[in-house]
Amino acid sequence: MPGSQPPVSFQTRPDLYHHWRLEFDGDVATLVMAVDERGGLRPGYELKLNSYDLGVDIELYDAVQRLRFEHPEVRAVVITSGDDKVFCAGANIRMLAASSHPWKVNFCKFTNETRCGIEDATEHSGQTYLAAVNGTASGGGYEIALACDRILLIDDRSAAVSLPEVPLLGVLPGTGGLTRVVDKRRVRRDRADVFATRPEGVKGRAAVEWRLVDEAIPRSRFEETVRERAREAAAASARTGENGVALPLLEPEITPDRVAYTHVTAELGEDRVDITIRGPRDEPPAAIDAGFWPLAMTRELDDLILWLRTNEPERGTWVFRTQGDADAVLAYEESMTGGKDWLTNEIRHYYKRTLKRLDVTSRSLVALIEPGSCFAGPLLEIALACDRQYMLEGAAIVVTDANFGAYPMANGLTRLASRFCGEDEPPRDVRGRRLDSAEADEYGLVTLALDDIDWEDEIRIALEERASLSPDALTGMEANHRFAGPETLESKIFGRLSAWQNWIFTRPGAAGPDGALSKYGTGKRATFDRKRV
Protein fold of 254-482: 2-enoyl-CoA Hydratase; Chain A, domain 1 (3.90.226)
- In 370-473 the beta strands, taken as DSSP E runs, fall at 388-392, 396-398, 434-436, 448-450
How many residues make up the chain in this entry? 533
What whole-number distance in Å separates Cα of residue 208 and Cα of residue 195? 13
Q: Which amino acid is at 295?
A: L
Sheet containing 20-25: which strands, arranged edge to edge?
20-25, 28-33, 76-81, 128-133, 150-155, 215-218
Q: Is the distance from CB of 321 to CB of 372 less than 8 angstroms?
A: no
The DSSP code sequence of 318-387 is EEEEEES-HHHHHHHHHHHSS---HHHHHHHHHHHHHHHHHHT-SSEEEEEE-TT---BGGGHHHHHHSS
Kindly tell me if the per-residue pLDDT of 31 is higher than 80.
yes
**pLDDT score at 155:** 97
- Per residue in 443-456, pLDDT (tens digit) is 999 999 999 999 99
Closest CA to 41 of 85, 91, 115: 91
- DSSP conformation class of 520: T
**pLDDT score at 225:** 98
The DSSP H or E segment spanning 380 is helix 380-385
Secondary structure of 170-199 in HEC code, one letter for each residue: CCCCCCCHHHHHHHHCCCCHHHHHHHHCCC
pLDDT, average across residues 36-65: 96
Q: What is the mean pLDDT of the chain?
A: 94
Closest CA to 418 of 440, 372, 385: 385
pLDDT, average across residues 386-408: 97
- Per residue in 62-83, pLDDT (tens digit) is 999 999 999 999 999 999 999 9
Q: How many CA within 13 A on the CB side of residue 330?
A: 14
Q: Is the distance from CB of 398 to CB of 330 less than 8 angstroms?
A: yes
**pLDDT score at 500:** 82
- Per residue in 99-144, pLDDT (tens digit) is 999 999 999 999 999 999 999 999 999 999 999 999 999 999 999 9
- Per residue in 352-381, pLDDT (tens digit) is 999 999 999 999 999 999 999 999 999 999
What whole-number distance in Å separates Cα of residue 352 and Cα of residue 347? 9
Cα torsion through 94, 100, 103, 104, rounded to 10:
60
Q: How far apart are the first and last CA of the chain?
A: 28
- Per residue in 212-259, pLDDT (tens digit) is 999 999 999 999 999 999 999 999 999 988 899 999 999 999 999 999
**pLDDT score at 181:** 97
- Per residue in 477-487, pLDDT (tens digit) is 998 899 988 99
pLDDT, average across residues 466-487: 92
**pLDDT score at 29:** 98
Q: According to CATH, where is 3.90.226.10 located in the chain?
A: 14-236, 254-482
**pLDDT score at 317:** 97
pLDDT, average across residues 181-192: 97
Q: Is the distance from CB of 427 to CB of 446 less than 8 angstroms?
A: no
pLDDT, average across residues 164-174: 91
**pLDDT score at 218:** 97
Q: Which amino acid is at 218?
A: P
Which residues, including other chains, have CB under 8 Å from residue 4's CB and lie 6 or more apart?
Answer: none
Kindly tell me if the per-residue pLDDT of 301 is higher than 90.
yes
Question: Would you call 283 exposed, middle or buried from its count of C-beta atoms within 10 A (0-12, 13-18, 19+)?
Answer: exposed
**pLDDT score at 340:** 62
The DSSP H or E segment spanning 60 is helix 54-70
Is the domain defined by 14-236 classed in CATH 1.10.1500.10?
Answer: no
The DSSP H or E segment spanning 137 is strand 136-138
Distance of alpha carbon 85 from the chain centroid: 29
pLDDT, average across residues 155-178: 93
- Per residue in 422-446, pLDDT (tens digit) is 787 677 789 999 999 999 999 999 9
What whole-number distance in Å separates Cα of residue 181 and Cα of residue 210? 10
Kindly tell me if the per-residue pLDDT of 1 is higher than 50.
no
Confidence of residue 300 (pLDDT cuts 50, 70, 90): very high
Enter the pTM of the model.
0.96
